[in-house]
Amino acid sequence: MKQWIRRGAALGLALALTVTAASASQAMGWDVHTGRAPLSQGASLGKNVFWSDTYSDLRTEYYVEYSPNASVVPTVAYGSKVTDRVTLSGMAQTLESQGKRVVSGLNGDWYVLSTGAPTGLVVTDGIVRATGYYNDTWAIGFNADGTAFIARNGLSVSVSFGGQAVKLGGGINKVRKLTDSAAVGGLTLLTDDFAATTQNTEPGVDVILSPVDDGTGTYAVKPTIGRQTQYVVEQVLESTGSIPIPEGKAVLTLNAKESEEALARLRALPLASCQTLTLADAAGDIAVAECSPEGMRVERPGSAGPFVCAANLFRSDLAVPLPPGLDTWRAEERYDTMRRFLEREGETLDLSGVRALLAGEKGFLCQYDRSAGRDTVWSVACDLSRQNCLLAEGNPGRTPFRPTPVPEAAGTRP
C-alpha cells in the first residue's frame, strides 16, 4: 500500500499556511536533548527538549522532516468543505478509508472559530478552494513530485459581466462581509467547496451560477489558477439570509448594505435559458446544438443518414427527467415523425418533400387543435444550395407556401 504523509490541518484547516523562519529552539532557548524516530520512507519525527531562558523551564518541540520520494507524498485534507471543522483524527480516518496510509499530520492555517473558514489561500490541483483575506502573506505549496516551495500569495481574482471587470473584494469561499476601508469584502463568490449554505446572516442579492462545460475543456468548471471559468446565470435572488449552494454550482453574493450601483449591476444580470439551435450552410454542413446552463452538446449527421433534427426536448446527456404531467406539445412524437421520414427519404429530399413533412402528410408535426389554444404560426423551408426559400405564414397544413428571399445576414428571419 502506498504510504502518504498528510500535510493537512486540524479542525478544518488546510493547504496554505503563513510561515516564520526561526525554529522554536533558536528563538526560545538552548538544546538539552534531541532525538529522531523514523516514520516511513523519507519521513521522520524529530523531538527537541530545550531550556527556555524566557520562561526558566524546559520546553519540548516536535517536528517532521521529509525528503520527497515516490512512496510518501504530501496531500491536503480539510473535510468535504473548506469550512468543515474536522479534527486531525477525523481527517486521518477519511484518508485511510480511501486506501491511504497517514504518516503524519500538521496544522495548515489559522481559521475563524465561528465559521470554520480558513484565513489563508487554499489551492489543490490548481483549483482555488479559498482565497486568502490578504495578498501580502507568504504560503507554502507542494509540487506533484512532493517538493515544497514558499512564495508570496499574489493571487488576483475578478469577475466580468456586462462588459466590465469587477474585483472580487470578498474573495472566493470566504464568509461574506461588508467592504471595509482596505477594500476587503463586498462581492464574494461561493462554490460548493465552501459549505452546504452561504452562511449569510443579513439580506443581500444572491446570483445562482452554473459553470459552462462545452465538453472541450476550454473553460474550467471551478475557479482555477491561470484559467477562466465561465458561468451562466440561473437565478437572481433577493435573499434574507443564508441559502443552499447547489452541488456543482456557485453563488455570487453581495450584502444589501453595499452600494446601490453594485447591487443594481447584479440585479440586472440576464438569466440563461435552454435552446436547441439547428445550423446549416450551403455546403451541406449541418448540426444541432443543445444549449443549457449546464453546457452545450453538438450533434452532427450519423450512420442513420445525412440529417439532424430537433423538437422541444433535449436528446443528449443534458436532458433531465421531466416533471410528471408536463405538456411538451407532443415533442417526442414530432421528433419521431421527422426522424422516420428523414431515414427513409433524406438522401433524395427536396423542397416539395419538406413541405409535405411540415404539412403533416408524413405524420404528426404541426396539426394542433386550435380550439385547445395552440397552433403553428409560421413555417419555412429552405434549399440553401439552390438559394430557394418557401414561407407559410400560418399553419403549414392549411396555409400555402410562397417564395421568399433567402436571408442574407445571419440571424435575420424571412
- Grid coordinates given for 92: 486521518
Query: pLDDT tens digits, residue range 26-62?
Result: 456 778 888 889 988 888 999 988 888 777 888 888 8
Three-state DSSP class for residue 342: helix
Mean of pLDDT values over 244-255: 94
Mean of pLDDT values over 288-296: 77
Give residue for cell 440563461. 272
Provide the CA 155 distance to its chain's centre, in angstroms: 19
Mean of pLDDT values over 380-405: 90
Q: Supply the pLDDT for residue 189.
A: 94
Query: pLDDT tens digits, residue range 294-337?
Result: 677 899 998 888 899 998 888 887 776 665 677 788 889 999 99
Whether the CB-CB separation of 297 and 318 falls below 8 Å is answered with yes
- Grid coordinates given for 244: 443552499
Reply yes or no on whether the pLDDT at 412 is more than 80: no
Amino acid at 357: L
Q: Distance between CA 176 and CA 254 in Å, rounded?
A: 7
Note the residue count of the chain.
414
Of 134, 182, 172, 171, nearest to 154 by C-alpha is 134
Query: Would you tell me how many other CB atoms lie within 10 Å of the CB of residue 179?
Result: 18
Q: Distance between CA 230 and CA 223 in Å, rounded?
A: 9
Handedness of CA 107, 110, 116, 122 (dihedral sign): negative
- Grid coordinates given for 143: 509540487
Of 331, 336, 341, 342, nearest to 362 by C-alpha is 341
Three-state DSSP class for residue 188: strand
Largest Cα–Cα separation, the chain: 103
Angle among Cα 128, 220, 7 to the nearest 5 degrees reads 30
**Predicted TM-score (pTM) of this structure:** 0.60
- Grid coordinates given for 287: 448540426
Q: How confident is the model at residue 214 (pLDDT cuts 50, 70, 90)?
A: low
Backbone angles phi, psi at 242, to 5 degrees: -75, 145
- Do strands 3-6 and 72-75 pair parallel, antiparallel, or not at all (unpaired)? parallel
Q: Distance between CA 43 and CA 41 in Å, rounded?
A: 6
DSSP class of residue 363 equals B
Q: Distance between CA 291 and CA 276 in Å, rounded?
A: 6
DSSP class of residue 346 equals G
Mean of pLDDT values over 380-406: 89
Q: Distance between CA 394 and CA 399 in Å, rounded?
A: 6
Provide the CA 325 distance to its chain's centre, in angstroms: 31
**pLDDT above 90: percentage of residues in the chain:** 24
Beta strands in 106-174 (DSSP E): 122-124, 127-130, 138-142, 148-152, 158-161, 164-167, 171-172
Three-state DSSP class for residue 347: helix
> To the nearest whole number, what is the mean pLDDT of the chain?
82
On the CB side of 406, CA atoms within 13 Å amount to 11
